[in-house]
Structure 1
Amino acid sequence: MSYHDGKESFYHGFILGLLNNNNLFSNIESGDGRSDIKYLPVNKEKRGFILELKVCKNKDLYDTAIEACNQIIEKRYLESDKARGYINMLGYGIAFDKKRAFIKCL
C-alpha cells in the first residue's frame, strides 16, 4: 500500500477494511445525501458514528476536515439516525494528504 494511491476511494476502502464489522455501512443514504462510512450499533444507546472522508485539494488538512464536518451538518447525516432512535451518534471529518491525516470531531 502506498500514499501514491491517494484518491478518496482508496482511503474509503482502507478505512472500511480496518473497521470490518457487520454494522458498518458504506455510502448509505442518510439525511439529504450519502455518508461515506456509518457505524450503527446493535444497541441504539451505544455510540455510533459517521465518517466523512476528504482528500486535500489546494487546502490544508484542518480546513479539509472542517469541510467534511460541514458536509455532515449541511446534509443532515446525523439527524436521520437520531430520528430512528440512535441517541449517541458522532460525526467525524477526516482529511487525507498522502502520508498525513487530520480528524475533526463534531
Structure 2
Amino acid sequence: VDTAVIYPEIKRNPYTIYSFLLMAGYLKIVDRQALYDGNNICTIAIPNKEIFYVYEKEILSCLADSISPSTAIAIQQAIIMQDVPNLQKHLQDFLRQTISIYDASSESFYHGLMLGLYAIMNNRYRITSNREAGDGRYDIQMMPLNKKMPGILIELKVLRGTVAPENVTEKLTALSEMALQQIDEKNYAFEMQDEGITQKMKLGIAFYKKQAEIAYRLD
C-alpha cells in the first residue's frame, strides 16, 4: 500500500484502490511484513463485521443483473446441505438463463464463473483458486472456517469441439468422472488433511456450452 497515492492513479493502476480503502478505514493493517522502496508491504484485512456486510452488499448488488438473489441462496443452500443433485440443477438453470454460447468456450470462462458463484460462501469458507497442492494445482478449494464443516475441492473440465446433442450427456458424465479422479490422483486434499479437515466434498464438474454435469464424492 502507498499512503502517498493520489486519485488519478486509479485509472493507471486499479490496485491502488487498496491504498484508498486502507486510508478510509475500510481495511486495516494486521501484519506489517516489510518496507520496500518507501511503500508498505503488509497484510490487510476487513476491520469488522459491519464493514464486511458493506462489501458483501455492494458486491452482490453488482451481481444482481447476472445472478438473482434466489439463485445465489439456492446454490448456497445446496452446498451447505451437500445436496449435489440440487446444486447441478441450479447451476444448469443459471447457465441457461445467463451465459451466451459464444462466451462459453474456454475453461477459464467457466473457472471465473464458478469462482463468482462460490464467492457468496466467503463468510463460511476461505476460497482459493489455482494453487499448488499435493502433486498438482487444483482449480478451486474451499477451506471451511469451521472445521466441523466439510472442505470442498472442485476440478473443472470443458468438453471441446462439436458434439452431437444425443452424445453430450454421456461425454460430460465421463469427463466429470475424470475430473473427480484427478482430485485423488493429484492428492489435492493434502492441505485439508494438514489443516485437520476430516470431511471433504469433492466435485468434478464438466461443461459444454450451457450444460453441466457434476460427479461427486463425500469422504
* TM-score normalised by L of structure 2: 0.46
Q: Which residue of the partner structure matches residue 40 of structure 1?
A: 143
Deviation at 1:84, TM superposition (A): 2.2
Unaligned runs of 5+ in 2: 1-98, 162-169
* Alpha-carbon distance in 2 for matches of 1:51, 1:93: 6
Bigger Rg, structure 1 or 2? 2
Q: Which residue of the partner structure matches residue 23 of structure 1?
A: 126
Q: Which residue of the partner structure matches residue 14 of structure 1?
A: 113
Q: Which residue of the partner structure matches residue 71 of structure 1?
A: 182
Of Structure 1 and Structure 2, the greater helix share is in 2
Of Structure 1 and Structure 2, the greater strand share is in 1
**Percent identical residues:** 42
Residue 159 of structure 2 aligns with an amino acid whose one-letter code is C
Residue 24 of structure 1 aligns with an amino acid whose one-letter code is I
* TM-score normalised by L of structure 1: 0.91
The runs of at least 4 consecutive aligned structure 1 residues that moved more than 6 Å come to none
* Alpha-carbon distance in 1 for matches of 2:194, 2:126: 18
Q: Secondary structure at the match of 2:155?
A: strand
Deviation at 1:49, TM superposition (A): 0.3
CA 1:80 to 1:23, structure 2 compared with 1: closer, same or farther past 3 Å? closer
Q: Secondary structure at the match of 2:213?
A: strand
**Which is worse superposed, 53-62 or 90-99?**
53-62
1:103 aligns with 2:206: no
From 102, 111, 134, the equivalent of 1:4 is 102
- What whole-Å deviation, never above 9, does each CA across 1:11-67 have from its counterpart, x for those lacking one? 000010111126110111111111100100111221120110000136810110011
* 2:151/2:192 contact within 8 Å kept: no
* Higher RCO, 1 vs 2 (CA within 8 Å, ≥6 residues apart): 1
Unaligned runs of 5+ in 1: none
Deviation at 1:83, TM superposition (A): 2.9
Residue 13 of structure 1 aligns with an amino acid whose one-letter code is G
